[in-house]
Amino acid sequence: MQSAVAELMELPLGARFDILEEDPKLVRELTRLTGTPYYIFQDSPVEFVELVLGEAVWGKQREILQSCWDKERTVVAACHGPGKTHIMARVLAWWIQTHPFQTVQGVTTAPTWRQVKNLLWPHVRRLWAQHHFPGHIGLAPEWRIGNELVAFGFSPSDHDEAAAQGIHAPYAIVLVDEAGGISATRFRSLEGIMSTGFARMLAIGNPPTDDESSAMEERWKAPNWHPIRISAFDTPNFTGEQTGPCGCPIARFQAHPIATHLTTPEWVDGVEAEFGKESAFYIARVLGDFPTGLTEKVIPWSFIEAAQERAEPARCTDVAALGVDVASDGGDELAFAVNRGNEVQGLGGRASPEHADPMKVALKIREHIEGGSAVEWEGLLAAQQALNPYGRAKVRIDAIGIGWAVAGLVDAWASEWMWPVDVTPVNVAEKPNSRSGQEKFLNKRAEMWWSGRDGCRETWKLTAPRRALAQLTGPEYTGTSAGLIKIESKDSLRRRGLPSPDQAEAILLAGYDAADVTAATKPQTGIAEARLPGVIQRRSLS
């Protein structure tokens, strides 16, 4: 009977169907021998998706699926939104369902455990439930059939070379999601799974925007890896390819093509307008290519992504802070941002001629402090109350141009109305307040941007409009002859075709707690002055 199975698999898929249709006994025997009713699709992943799962696929998805059978190792450099994780889940289902369960192993990984658990495996779980595949998948990223663990997800340390030791099976597949963030050490560890039996590895991700020698790019260039690129311009919304109906749950109520979920021209146009065609973000996320000749960005896009993906701040505080970037001549944007204990939110910005009037700007700041219907968030006082009702909130105002007058007005109101708020005017052209800052940064602007860099990389949970995120990735940094960090000027940004980073600097001001360390905290002399209306009193500190 085993020889009959081997002969059957040598025939084209259509002929296999015909024979099985004519011989129901052969179907039962084939299932008994192989442990799966889908064994005949083992070399036909495209047909498995189309005939077993009943789903339509488009050109690049077909290419990826077939490569997983034809090639040992496949690396896919993809644009934003082409259905990367969707197709990877279909690859896993095909592999598990077309091999004997006692001989098969699927291993998935991603840069973080959250990505493993929340990106790929919900797709796998839905397929398992929808098609009543054997076994069980619970909340954990594990697929068990009887006593066999046939597939699981994990995310070990990037430096753990032994992470994949002991994982072996006659038929193994390794699926690497978000491959641009996987270290070379992790890739080397996964190679151990490829050493025995019949194995395949598929790595899919966006090319990194800040690393020209990433492990993903090394595999893209390696001769033993089959490379596939997906540009936004390869997707059906640009090529006009007919994709067939989508099978997602909402299709039960409203039929729609697969292209509805793929990259749109509107998204590409927005990225081009805000980042520029020459930017690393456009090259990686629109073209699906690896950027070259990368400059030293103050805040790389990978840091911003890390801050956006952070479930909660890595280090919470009990201080709420409002950052205000003042449109010094009324031509730039008046922008706001709030920091709720390292949960940083960009509140957007707007340019208007009335922003040249200090009083009108101060009144808008007052609205953001007091909250209410005038602004679309709870307001600074309410944010501080939620964090710590006994604490004092911070307002940090860009003091260049009219900003100094604005800060003076807001500070006077804080005293008059007894707001529990400290107002700090920040002149970014000045030297940093602290000695350590003066030894590292050219001015407060450099210190502020570097503080934002560290916040995105390590502690912040960040939400902001796309325009603000684009502005955060704009400036580059250099070193002065004295070895101090210097941030690219706004004039230089404009010469490169980039806008003034007003919304970005509001975000950075909201997180710039070094600005609160003022001269008042420095060592005092032996005499202090206490001023009362009309009186100056002098007393010794000794």
| Nearest alpha-carbon partner for 197 in 95, 94, 97, 65 | 95
Indicate whether 530 pLDDT > 60.
Answer: no
Indicate whether 541 pLDDT > 90.
Answer: no
Q: Give the whole-angstrom CA distance, residue 1 versus residue 22.
A: 17
Q: Are residues 245 and 305 in the same domain?
A: no
Q: Are residues 162 and 87 in the same domain?
A: yes
Task: Characterise 95 by phi-psi region: left (phi > 0), alpha (psi -120 to 50), beta (else).
Answer: alpha
Indicate whether 322 pLDDT > 90.
Answer: yes
222 assigned to some structural domain: yes
Number of domains comprising the chain: 2
Indicate whether 304 pLDDT > 60.
Answer: yes
Q: Are residues 256 and 397 in the same domain?
A: no
Q: Give the whole-angstrom CA distance, residue 184 versus residue 381.
A: 47
Per-residue model confidence as pLDDT tens digits over 356-378? 899 999 999 999 999 988 899 99
Q: Are residues 311 and 457 in the same domain?
A: yes
Per-residue model confidence as pLDDT tens digits over 185-202? 999 999 989 987 799 999
Q: Are residues 495 and 363 in the same domain?
A: yes
Q: Are residues 355 and 503 in the same domain?
A: yes
Structure tokens at 496: 């490169």
Indicate whether 149 pLDDT > 90.
Answer: yes
Q: Are residues 240 and 313 in the same domain?
A: no
Per the model's pLDDT, the better-predicted residue between 257 and 288 turns out to be: 288
- Using DSSP's 3-state secondary structure scheme, residue 472 falls into helix
Can you give the pLDDT at residue 339?
97
Q: Are residues 370 and 441 in the same domain?
A: yes
Q: What is the mean pLDDT of residues 429-434?
A: 93
Q: Give the whole-angstrom CA distance, residue 523 versus residue 534.
A: 27
pLDDT band, very low/low/confident/very high, at 540 (cuts 50, 70, 90): very low
Indicate whether 71 pLDDT > 70.
Answer: yes
44 assigned to some structural domain: no
CATH classification at residue 411 = 3.30.420.240
Per-residue model confidence as pLDDT tens digits over 225-245? 999 999 999 999 999 998 877
Can you give the pLDDT at residue 529?
34
Per-residue model confidence as pLDDT tens digits over 53-62? 999 999 999 9
Q: What is the mean pLDDT of residues 104-133?
A: 93
Can you give the pLDDT at residue 331?
60
Q: What is the mean pLDDT of residues 395-414?
A: 93
Q: Give the whole-angstrom CA distance, residue 32 versus residue 27.
A: 9
Q: What is the mean pLDDT of residues 49-70?
A: 94
The residues, ordered by sequence, that sit 6+ positions from 176 with a Cβ below 8 Å of its Cβ are: 108, 109, 110, 182, 187, 190, 201, 202, 203, 204, 205
Per the model's pLDDT, the better-predicted residue between 535 and 215 turns out to be: 215
Q: Contact at 8 Å (CB) between 19 and 11?
A: yes
344 assigned to some structural domain: yes
Containing domain of residue 178, as a range? 58-261
Can you give the pLDDT at residue 88?
96
User: How far is residue 382 from each of residues 166, 355, 372, 420, 490, measured CA to CA in Å?
Assistant: 54, 26, 10, 11, 34
Average pLDDT score over the chain: 88
Can you give the pLDDT at residue 526?
34
Q: What is the mean pLDDT of residues 409-428?
A: 94
Per the model's pLDDT, the better-predicted residue between 42 and 273 turns out to be: 42
Per-residue model confidence as pLDDT tens digits over 454-477? 999 999 999 999 999 999 999 998
Strand partners, 257: 245
Q: What percent of the chain has pLDDT over 70?
A: 93
Indicate whether 504 pLDDT > 50.
Answer: yes
Q: Are residues 76 and 139 in the same domain?
A: yes
- Three-state SS for 276-345 is CCCCHHHHHHCCCCCCCCCCCECCCHHHHHHHHHCCCCCCCCCCEEEEEECCCCCCCEEEEEEEECCEEE
Indicate whether 174 pLDDT > 90.
Answer: yes
Q: Are residues 256 and 326 in the same domain?
A: no
pLDDT band, very low/low/confident/very high, at 328 (cuts 50, 70, 90): low
Can you give the pLDDT at residue 95?
97
Q: Are residues 352 and 474 in the same domain?
A: yes
Contacts 24+ apart (CB under 8 A), 437-445: 437/514, 440/484, 440/485, 441/484, 441/485, 442/480, 442/484, 442/485, 442/486, 442/487, 444/515, 445/487
CATH classification at residue 76 = 3.40.50.300
Indicate whether 531 pLDDT > 60.
Answer: no
Indicate whether 146 pLDDT > 70.
Answer: yes
Indicate whether 207 pLDDT > 60.
Answer: yes
